[in-house]
Amino acid sequence: MRISRAAETYATHLADVRRLAPATVRAYRSDLADLTAASGDAELTDIDLEQLRDWLWQATQRGDARSTIGRRTSSARGFFAWAVEEHLLDTDPSLRLVAPKRGRTLPKVAASDSLTALLDLLREAAAEGDPVALRDHALLELLYGAAVRVSELCGLDLDDIDAQRRTVRVLGKGSKERVVPFGGAAGRALDAYLIRGRPPLLARAAEGRAPATAAVFLGVRGGRMGTRAVYDVVSRVLGPELGAAVGPHALRHSAATHLLDGGADLRAVQEILGHASLGTTQIYTHVSSERLTATYRLAHPRA
């Protein structure tokens, strides 16, 4: 069996049996497509360790990031381990394939006072009643207040919000559902948007003869808001603060860091973020530690 055919079967297995998220399956497809191209779509049984190392070396020569090469190493190891389990191969050629060590890249985090000031400005703009301004304020407050992923935000339906308990039910990675709390600021912004902002946007869908949707956040034509539109909103608002093109994850990073700065338990933050591993959450302890060190060096006379 050629690699391309085996890779397609493996991708189906990941989606239907292991039920991985669509984005994760796409990443595996992409990595294995790159391996297929590099090998000339060779027979699966013809691939050996040296060919796999050469494939990763080519990626290094192209200037691919270490994180990309590391992910491709992981994809190859998962693929060949599956091939052995399925009796497509007798031995696994990727067993000794080693990923390059990844440098630690700390996420960009907005200062809490600056972020508060930005959100207050958005609240004042939304008070004038423009539906889009009301929506943008609500979605940014919720991204920060509940630390949800952009895909989770875009997937929200009206019955996922419990306004009384101030919680939101989201569907995270691997189709895992969790309930996340949000604060008063996000609650007030959501109430204002749902009462005064969403109905005019939904009316636009009717005017364009688009089907009605239960989505919480709507685009300018009244349909469910997409991730690209949310990225644009966040980049416009947070870009000047962080000095770079940023996306919704910057608000999630900021929320996690500010929770730990405020004394939140690491495991509680893990639950809020929906991380499967505590190790993933621990990067925010490094962010908090480095911010503390930077403050010390600026403020202490004997630093």
**284 among known catalytic residues:** yes
- Beta carbons of 275 and 284 less than 8 angstroms apart: no
Q: Of residues 123, 253, 258, 275, which has the active-site annotation? A: 275
**Angle at CA 172, nearest 5°, toward 151 and 288?**
85
User: How far apart (Å, rounded) are the C-alpha atoms in residues 184 and 99?
Assistant: 45
Catalytic residue from among 66, 196, 249, 291: 249
**Which amino acid belongs to residue 167?**
T
Secondary structure of the chain: what % helix, strand, coil (to 5)?
A: 65, 5, 30
User: Does 149 qualify as catalytic in the annotation?
Assistant: yes
Phi, psi for residue 128 in degrees, rounded to 5: -75, -10
Compute the Cα dihedral for 264, 267, 268, 274 and give only its sign: positive
| Residues making up the chain, counted from first to last | 303
Q: Which residue out of 149, 198, 253, 258 is catalytically annotated?
A: 149
Which is catalytic among the residues 10, 28, 144, 284?
Answer: 284
**Angle ∠(187,188,189) on CA atoms, nearest 5:** 90
Identify which of 172, 166, 169 has the alpha carbon closest to the alpha carbon of residue 187.
166
Catalytic residue among 29, 108, 169, 173: 173
Q: State yes or no: is 19 an active-site residue.
A: no
Catalytic residue (choose from 71, 252, 253, 258): 252
For 50, residues 6+ apart whose C-beta sits below 8 A from its C-beta are none
> Contact 59/76 with Cβ under 8 angstroms?
no
Backbone CA torsion sign across 153, 158, 160, 161: positive
Please state the three-class secondary structure of 176-220 as a single string.
Answer: CEEEEECCHHHHHHHHHHHHHHHHHHHHHHHHCCCCCCCECCECC
What's the CA gap between 70 and 100, in Å, rounded?
Answer: 6
- Is there a catalytic annotation at residue 275? yes
Residue 302 is a catalytic residue = no
Residues marked as catalytic? 149, 173, 249, 252, 275, 284
